[in-house]
A and B are shown apart, each in its own frame.
Chain A
Amino acid sequence: MDLATFFIQCLNSLQYGLLLFLVASGLTLIFGIMGVINLAHGSFYMIGAYMAYALAPLVASTFGGGFFATLFVGMVLAVLLGYVLEWAFFSFLYEREHLQQVLMTYGLILVFEELRSLIVGDDVYGVQAPPWLAGTIPLGDVMTYPVYRIFISVACLLLAIGMWLVFTRTRLGMMIRAGATNREMVQALGVDIKFLYRVVFAAGVAIAVFAGMVAAPVSSVYPGMGNQVLIICFVVVVIGGIGSIRGALLAALLIGIVDTFGKVVFPQAAGVLVYVLMALILLWKPDGLFRAG
């Protein structure tokens, strides 16, 4: 492997890892703070991608906007979806056993898949990157790298930094962190915990949808994409440690590297490598790299 190819794979690893991190952080937050395992989280990613496809013409004709306008509209819809979903469904899961949560959210996956099938259909679609991001930049003499992929990494990084700032620098973030460690106390102190949970859940959904929308031009839009990303996100969360954002970031980047380089170096074993990594890490640290925090 020459230097240019190596560098390209590094960039790909980073992009994939950061995308995974965004989706996984929503999953780990929702579990860490509300104690709910949400198998349907991958569906939000899928919904995001299909929204990027389906909303683009609507936004173009109604507002005359392009990619970023579609992104904005998608995020607004995602927040609404998350808000309503938490109120109508997820708020009933908090007190239930994990097994019941697993099964109810599994049922939700099936419902989402079919609703998508009914609304948009089962075909595979492509989404165009906005023209001004669709070029390439040169790396060395021969190789080039797509600008859009760099945009994905930058966008994910900005969102991640934004999340970190909200957590550590705002009152809302403080309440969220407090609610994660002691729900009853936070309630007793007068914080509306229900509203807090709704906000956290809506944010988790929005982040996953964002990831799906942003990834759509690169990964294309197909029915199984939600489930695929879900399983990998579970591996991210398990490796990183449930409830730990730091862990999710480290694990996501690790998986990005293993998966990307794996596909190049061992194409036949590529699918398995991530799980081998997980098995090795769990042998060493059964609770993940960082315990909750």
Chain B
Amino acid sequence: MIARAPLLFVTAAFALLAAYPLVAGEFGVDLVAKIMIYAIFALSLELLAGSTGLVCFGHAALFGIGAYAAVLLSPQNEAAALHWLLPASVLAAAAYALFMGALSLRTKGVYFIMVTLAFAQMAYYVIHDTPLGGGTDGIYLNFKPVLTLGGTTLLNLDLPETFYGFTLATLVLVFCFLALLLRSRFGRALAGIKDNEQRMRATGFSTYPYKLAAFVISGGIAGLAGFLFAVKDGVVNPELLSWHLSGSVLIMIILGGLGHLRGALIGAFAFVLLQELFKSEAIFGNFAKHWHLGLGLTIIACVALLPRGLVGLPQLISQRLSGTRSLRDGDSPDEPA
């Protein structure tokens, strides 16, 4: 069902990720774990913006709420139970997504983009200004959650390798879930809404519930990514809900390629590695503190020159080499991944 080349690519990528800790040091494992968390975050937005066509500029709020829920719901003096804390964080994010989506989906187009931004700001200010969020300094997670059965500890997320493995497993599961979801009737309905919502309604689909469901599922997955982020660093701060992060994750999926799940993966990697590049004092010396400049220029160049993102790169190159331009610009139902 899924086209061969992308399937191969994704399988190879996951295999590489699984093998990576064997060769990498502490810094590498930590960095790639962070990238994988962003990849999960990007995948969640890909479902909403890429596959359903709902460009949400406030997705960081859902990520941040998942992160804050992980910390706020953890007991002060001992490790939380993973099998309880994880779903709770996901549900917290999904709940806000339900609220946000129910109201935002009344608007369309540009309004929708701006309204989602504003709802994220709402959450940001609640966290930033009220004692709930611990203010600008953020709050610490004293003990990372563990999974226990009987008396034995099955998963201790305090150990970097365990955390890496857990995050990779989560990434693979989320990817597979979304791949299945997108090829299901629900997923095809979302694609239809993106392509021609009017026709969907004319044939008898009530489009609002579909869009809201996509919003909530997407929000829950973003919350899952936020949960992992909180557990990884053991600290959360309000900037996890900032619109800079919302913008960054949008960039990731555009950079990778809208409308393709693997685009979210590629985009997350490319974006974080680009950031690391521009921040690197080894290459840029003193200028590294102005890394936003390089990032901003890259974003502009990327959107301008690679309209289909990095997934479109092989096709772009082969077109240039053979001197042809393909008319076919759309997706087949076989290639959502």
Contact = CB atoms under 8 A, between A and B. Distances in A.
B129 A271 contact: yes
B115 A282 contact: yes
B57 interface: yes
Nearest to A287: B111
Interface stretch (B184-192, B293-301, B313-321): B293-301
B2 interface: no
B109 interface: yes
A98 B55 contact: yes
The majority secondary structure among interface residues of chain A is helix
A216 interface: no
A104 to B, nearest CB: 5
A110 B118 contact: no
B304 interface: yes
A271 B290 CA distance: 29
A242 B125 contact: no
A111 to B, nearest CB: 4
A118 B296 CA distance: 15
Contact of A107 (B106, B122, B290, B296): B296
Interface string B262-280: 0000000000000000000
Interface residues of A, number: 41
B115 A238 contact: yes
Contacts of B250: 99, 102-103
A179 to B, nearest CB: 19
Interface stretch (A62-70, A71-79, A135-143, A229-237): A229-237
A164 B315 CA distance: 51
A149 B219 CA distance: 43
A238 to B, nearest CB: 5
B128 interface: yes
A99 B258 CA distance: 11
Interface residues of B, number: 41
A206 to B, nearest CB: 23
B283 interface: no
A272 B303 contact: no
Contact of A278 (B115, B243, B258): B115
Given A235-B118, A275-B121, A102 B113 contact: yes
B292 interface: yes
Contacts of A111: 292-293, 296-297, 300
B121 A282 contact: no
Interface in A98-116: 98-100, 102-104, 106-111, 113-115
A225 to B, nearest CB: 15
B213 interface: no
Interface string A17-31: 000000000000001
Contacts of A242: 110-111
Interface of A: 31, 37, 92, 98-100, 102-104, 106-111, 113-115, 117-118, 227, 231, 234-235, 237-238, 242, 268-272, 275-276, 278-279, 282-283, 286-288
The 5 closest A-B pairs by CB, nearest first: A110-B296, A271-B125, A107-B299, A114-B293, A275-B122
12 contacts: A103-B303, A107-B298, A107-B300, A111-B292, A231-B117, A231-B243, A238-B107, A238-B114, A271-B128, A275-B121, A282-B107, A282-B115
